[in-house]
Amino acid sequence: AIWNLGSINIDMVYALPHMPQPGETLAATSFEQGLGGKGANMSVAAARAGAHACHIGAIGPEGKWCVDRLTEYGVDTRHIAQIDTATGHAIIAVDPAGENQIILYPGANRVLSEDQIGQALSAANAGDILLIQNETNMQAEAAEMGRKLGLRVAYAAAPFDADAVQAVLPFMDLLFLNEVEAAQLEEATGKAPHDLDVQDVIVTLGAKGARHFDGRSGDVTDIPALKVTPVDTTGAGDTFTGYVLAALDRGLPMAQAMAQASRAGALMVTRHGAADVIPDLKEVQNAKF
Ligand code: ADP
């Protein structure tokens, strides 16, 4: 199983005639609301890929529909707490050129308790995967707990924060970075991906594919990307991560796990939206590129 300590966000997307200036009041020409948050995206991806994905998180009073939707997508939601703090949300302004500006309110995602995480993980089995990203509190505490319980601890260093990654590094078995995050981590620590003391480091490179650094053998493996015409790259990395972990949880070797994930990531960039459009394993296997 995959235990995902992760964010749940309501994405509110407003189309605007131009970006608002300070002091300006501006009417949006359209509005769409969807489920988002890196945590939720990764839980949905892992579940759609066939894993038992158990989300550990929190929502506020107006977020019940997010839990319903996660359940609909196959995520185990029994460890999502309902609390009095507002549900995390992103207010996303998009101008006619497709440029965006985002206000993010972490809300309930940042008030998780160690108790809640401990309670959830008490049902985990050694060898299960614990996944963490940088959109909740309690990251290092959870990672340490996971390590003690014999779980494989995976970390997606997004949104990037050098202190947050470094706090989890001692407990980490797998690390997911995109190209920019890999450069930021190297700048902060002086260590390139192959210098980190982590068993598996995976760097995604967008249309250039992805690269695996094996911390035991020192081997570096490149997985090519598939050729598609991108329309919206939102959620590609999250989908890739969820798919890799679901495949590893099924016992597939890393190269196969990444090959499957790159098909899922490629499909994702051909679609608008986040959690709501993540493909399932059948679609990923049957897709023609
Ligand atoms: P992030 O969204 O975190 O920045 P990337 O952009 O590196 O992550 O994308 C994650 C993965 O999704 C890539 O490794 C690749 O497999 C797939 N992907 C992303 N963009 C494209 C693209 N333009 N064409 C094909 N595959 C893509």
- Checking if the pLDDT of 82 tops 90, the result is yes
Q: How far is the CA of 194 from the centre of ligand 1 (A)?
A: 21
Full domain range(s) for residue 167 = 2-286
Q: State the CATH number of the domain containing residue 95.
A: 3.40.1190.20
Share of the chain above pLDDT 90, in %: 97
- Checking if the pLDDT of 73 tops 90, the result is yes
Confidence of residue 117 (pLDDT cuts 50, 70, 90): very high
CA-to-CA dists, residue 233 to 179, 222, 230, angstroms? 14, 21, 7
Q: What is the pLDDT of residues 206-230, one digit of tens each?
A: 999 999 999 999 999 999 999 999 9
Structural domain count, the chain:
1
- Average pLDDT in the chain: 97
279 lines ligand 1 (CB under 6 A): no
Q: Which residue from 103, 78, 68, 73 is spatially nearest to 88, judged by alpha carbons?
A: 103
- Checking if the pLDDT of 33 tops 90, the result is yes
Confidence of residue 49 (pLDDT cuts 50, 70, 90): very high
Q: How far is the CA of 199 from the centre of ligand 1 (A)?
A: 22
Across 28-46, average pLDDT: 97
Residue having the nearest C-alpha atom to atom 26 of ligand 1: 266
9 lines ligand 1 (CB under 6 A): no
Q: How far is the CA of 145 from the centre of ligand 1 (A)?
A: 31
Cα separation, 266 vs 72, whole angstroms: 23
Confidence of residue 273 (pLDDT cuts 50, 70, 90): confident
- Checking if the pLDDT of 234 tops 90, the result is no
